[in-house]
Amino acid sequence: MGTLQTISLIGSTQTLAWASSYYLPAVLAAPVAKELETGEPFFFLCFSAALLIAALVGPRAGRWIDQRGGRVVLPITNLMFAAGLTMLALWVLQWVMDFMTPPSPRLCFFMA
C-alpha cells in the first residue's frame, strides 16, 4: 500500500472515530436526556466525566500497550467495553422492570 493510500485510510478512520465518539453524543443529547428523564446538562456532565476518565487512564493504557503489545491489551479493552454496555443494558432493563412492576401508578394509569 502506498503512502497516500495509507494516509487516506488512517485519516478516514480517524474522522469516523471522532464523529462517533465526540460529535454523535452532541446530536443524541436531547433524545437521550428526554428518554432517561434527565436534563441535557446531566447528559453532558456524564459525557465530560467519561472524557476525564479516558484522559486519566490514557497514559497508563499507552504504557501498558508499549510493554505488552496491542494483541494483549485490545481484547481486554473490548471486554471492558462489553461490560459497560452490559451494565447499561441491565440498567435499562431494571428501569423497564420497575416501570412494569405492579402496583406502579404509571402501570395503573396505562391499564385504566
Give the per-residue SS3 of the chain: CCHHHHHHHHHHHHHHHHHHHHHHHHHHHHHHHHHCCCCHHHHHHHHHHHHHHHHHHHHHHHHHHHHHCHHHHHHHHHHHHHHHHHHHHHHHHHHHHHHHCCCCHHHHHHHC
- pLDDT range class, residue 112, cuts 50, 70, 90: very low
pLDDT in tens, 26-36: 888 898 888 88
Instruction: Please give the pLDDT value at position 41.
Output: 92
Task: Encode pLDDT of 67-106 as tens digits.
Answer: 888 888 878 878 888 887 787 777 766 666 666 655 545 5
